[in-house]
Chain A
Amino acid sequence: MRKVFYFTCFLFLFSCKNKKTEKVIYPRQVGDITYDVKLDNPNFIPCNGDDKILQYFNTGKGVEYRGGKKEIKDLFEKNYTHVKVDESGLIRIRFIVNCKGETGRFRVIQMSDNYEQFTFDDRITNQLLMITQGLDGWKEKENHGTKIDYYQYLTFKIEKGNLIEILP
């Protein structure tokens, strides 16, 4: 009887421990990108440190690019070559723009058109990543008179390998 009691106690404690380990570990903020030596350019540095990076919309001005968002759209229209595949969905490329307007730490996520994780043909993602990395017109944003670092992203809507729309 005593053995059954101890065994039950053990199971109870074990289940508590499991519950604790299930706790999600969040970054400082949703979508934070930490430096990865294997992926990132070591010369790209956020001016105010990783813990002070804001979101692009925090200053209330939305996407700010030299020539406006139309310029981004035009650059992709000019440089993206259609890939003949039956693949549709969204690709988001998130990155940091520092206080000097430089960009770094690019990360890609992809989904099919029913919101499920998906991997597009490399010829699509590589093109989008390369063009995004080449964008050099990001404006320096300010918050209360201080130049800030901010997270920016671009979402690409792909329909049968064609680039249909760019968000946000």
Chain B
Amino acid sequence: MRIIIVCLLICFTSNVFTQNCDAYKGHGEIKKYEACKKQKEAYKFYQFTKEYQELLDEAIQIDSTYDNAYWAKSIAYLKSGDFLSWKPLIDKAVELNPQMHLGYRGWCRYQFFRDYKGAISDIEEYERIIKDDIGYCQNGDYHLLIAKAICYKAIGEKDKAIKIIEDYLKDNDEESDLYNYYHLGVLYFERGDYNKALSNLEKQKESNNLADNRYYMAMCYKKMNNTNKYKETILEAKKLFEEGYLLNDPYTHHYDKVYLSQIEEEINKSKRFNP
């Protein structure tokens, strides 16, 4: 069910699925309508291909103010890590239609380039423009407010990050989100508040059981001198990892990601602890 919800979120937040060329026609924007149709032709090809890029260039030639063509062109450069080519394209899309692309650019600055300050700046500007729910990031993993919180954490503003996530959780149904309690738990752990950390990591365990989460639960038990639970939980983390229950992103890695070597190292350390 959770996977279906996330897939639907991705679909609804993706420009590809929300794009309806006829809408431009209905508004009398004939050039945009033609450019949009050209963009749809490009979708017959893989984003990285020459054909895809050339068809989008044709879309831009039809209407140089058609923002989606710049956005669509930028994707392959983003995924290939070519920041120099990506940025002018996505900037042009944002300049032409900030309501559609600014939040997305903020997310990408975080996800692919760990440009935390740039991401915060974009997401906060997006909040000012939208004045309502700013929605989810492109891959559906996080609400953009949670992404902003992670960026604040990354630049050292952990209390601010906690407040953003807590406020978000107060107002929103946690069911549809994948990792909110995990990141909040890790934040409390790093602040030394192990009870609050465990409480959030337990909630994460109930909603989306992950090796990464179990690792931090074990670390909490260790700090709280609960040796039995520490030893038991760190072994559970390894089992979950091996079964594939972990933070996973095919393009890059999540913030607060835990690696197998960290879990194994902790298992070795746990052997020296006696109950």
Contact = CB atoms under 8 A, between A and B. Distances in A.
Interface of A: 23-24, 26-31, 55, 57, 60-63, 67-71, 90, 92, 94, 109, 111, 113, 115, 117, 151, 153, 155, 157, 165, 167-168
Given A70-B260, A115-B87, A167-B253, 10 more contacts: A23-B57, A27-B50, A29-B49, A31-B77, A57-B251, A62-B251, A111-B83, A153-B81, A155-B112, A168-B112
Nearest to A152: B81
Interface string B69-94: 00000001101111111010000000
A111 B26 CA distance: 43
Which 9 interchain pairs have the tightest Cβ spacing? A70-B259, A31-B80, A30-B76, A168-B252, A29-B48, A26-B50, A115-B87, A153-B81, A62-B250
B273 interface: no
Contact of A71 (B49, B80, B261): B261
Interface string B126-170: 000000000000000000000000000000000000000000000
A62 B80 CA distance: 12
Contacts of A24: 53-54, 57
Contacts of A68: 259-261
Contacts of B253: 62-63, 69, 167-168
17 contacts: A27-B50, A29-B50, A55-B80, A57-B79, A57-B250, A62-B248, A62-B250, A68-B259, A69-B253, A70-B262, A92-B81, A92-B82, A109-B82, A109-B84, A113-B115, A165-B114, A167-B113
A109 B77 CA distance: 13
Given A23-B57, A30-B53, A67-B261, A117 B84 contact: yes
B3 to A, nearest CB: 15
B91 to A, nearest CB: 9
A94 B81 contact: yes
Contacts, number: 92
Contacts of B114: 157, 165, 167
Contacts of B82: 30-31, 92, 109
B81 A155 contact: yes
B150 to A, nearest CB: 13
Nearest to B90: A115
Contacts of A157: 113-114
A111 B113 CA distance: 11
Interface in B81-110: 81-85, 87
Nearest to B248: A62
B173 interface: no
Contact of B250 (A60, A70, A94): A60
